[in-house]
Amino acid sequence: MAIKSKIKLKKYLSNAGYCSRRKAADFIESNSITINSEKAEHDAILEHGDVIVINKNKEIVNLKVKTDILIYHKPTGEICSSIESGANKSVFQSIPIRQEGKWIMVGRLDVNTSGLLIFSNNGDLVQKLSHPSSMIERKYLCRILGNPTKSQINKLLNGAHVEGKKSHFDKLIPIKKKSSAVNNWFRVTLHSGRNREVRKLWDTQSLQVNRLIRIGFGPIMLPKDLKAGQYKLLMQNEINNVLKLVDSET
């Protein structure tokens, strides 16, 4: 395991899940933060063992924390937010609380989408996995109302404009169905992860998605025996495969 001796305050706050890296400066400005009893400056550097107090919450800086990854089978109806909203439960209420550090979510799924959701305590890893430039393969099962034509399928594979940007599925594979069925299931793959992109792509062909399940993200696949509402911690060899994907460290 690679051990870092120093870290920038902004990066530490992002890694710990307090804010995104680009909002770290605002977070430092609007919150009470001290390092070893001294007011924290924007360009502060933290060392292993430093005492940091964030809004009266005291932490000992630990730069030797091992990377953990948790996968969760999100059911429909839960929201990808740290705060529940009305009748909608937060996904964070369904996963275990960490004794040290926080779980940080990799991307999001909308309230009506179920399937694979990924969390890690490694903020650098989460940022790399979430960033569009990572071009990580995402796999979904889609249930479509109606029967798409060959022309519509070709347009979805060759490219369609979604909110001014060209997008397409890398793979679009029909799943066998009964000839009398109203709905059709497809397995799709794409490498970008813009907001509601799968649904919006089908919308370009006037086709409605009435069920959407994410089943894969890079080397991580949703286990068939992991039921909706259940979670699982990845083994070290599985974590290593994810770290290699973005050339990250543990």
CATH number at residue 55: 3.10.290.10
225 carries an active-site annotation: no
Q: Is there a single domain that holds both residue 195 and residue 211?
A: yes
Out of 50, 110, 170, 203, which one is annotated catalytic?
110
Alpha-carbon gap, residue 200 to 140, rounded angstroms: 14
Share of the chain above pLDDT 70, in %: 96
Average pLDDT score over residue span 178-195: 84
Nearest Cα to 129, choosing from 3, 239, 4, 2?
A: 239
Banded model confidence at residue 2, pLDDT cuts 50, 70, 90: very low
Asked, for residue 250, whether it belongs to a domain, the answer is no
Q: Is there a single domain that holds both residue 122 and residue 224?
A: yes
Total domain count for the chain?
3
Asked, for residue 21, whether it belongs to a domain, the answer is yes
| Local structure of 167: helix, strand or coil | strand
Q: Is there a single domain that holds both residue 125 and residue 144?
A: no
Domain boundary among 40, 60, 80: 60
Alpha-carbon gap, residue 187 to 143, rounded angstroms: 9
Q: Is there a single domain that holds both residue 51 and residue 161?
A: no
CATH number at residue 201: 3.30.2350.10
Banded model confidence at residue 250, pLDDT cuts 50, 70, 90: low
CATH number at residue 232: 3.30.70.580
Average pLDDT score over residue span 114-127: 91
Tell me what pLDDT residue 162 has. 87
In this model, does residue 168 exceed pLDDT 80?
yes
Alpha-carbon gap, residue 147 to 99, rounded angstroms: 50
Under 8 Å CB-to-CB from 117, ≥6 apart: which residues? 71, 72, 73, 74, 80, 91, 105, 106, 109, 214
Q: Is there a single domain that holds both residue 25 and residue 37?
A: yes
Asked, for residue 1, whether it belongs to a domain, the answer is no
Give, in degrees to the nearest 5, the angle at Cα 111 between 80 and 26: 35
Average pLDDT score over residue span 182-201: 89
Banded model confidence at residue 130, pLDDT cuts 50, 70, 90: confident
Alpha-carbon gap, residue 96 to 75, rounded angstroms: 16
Q: Which domain holds residue 238?
A: 69-133+219-245
Tell me what pLDDT residue 160 has. 87
Q: Is there a single domain that holds both residue 223 and residue 126?
A: yes
> If you compute the radius of gyration of the chain from its CA atoms, what whole number of angstroms results?
21
Under 8 Å CB-to-CB from 141, ≥6 apart: which residues? 115, 175, 185, 186, 187, 188, 211, 212, 213, 215
Alpha-carbon gap, residue 94 to 89, rounded angstroms: 9
Asked, for residue 93, whether it belongs to a domain, the answer is yes
What's the pLDDT tens digit per position in 23-82? 899 999 999 999 999 999 989 999 989 999 999 989 888 887 789 999 999 999 999 988
What pTM was estimated for this model as a whole?
Answer: 0.80
Q: Is there a single domain that holds both residue 128 and residue 142?
A: no
Q: Is there a single domain that holds both residue 164 and residue 200?
A: yes
Q: Is there a single domain that holds both residue 158 and residue 52?
A: no
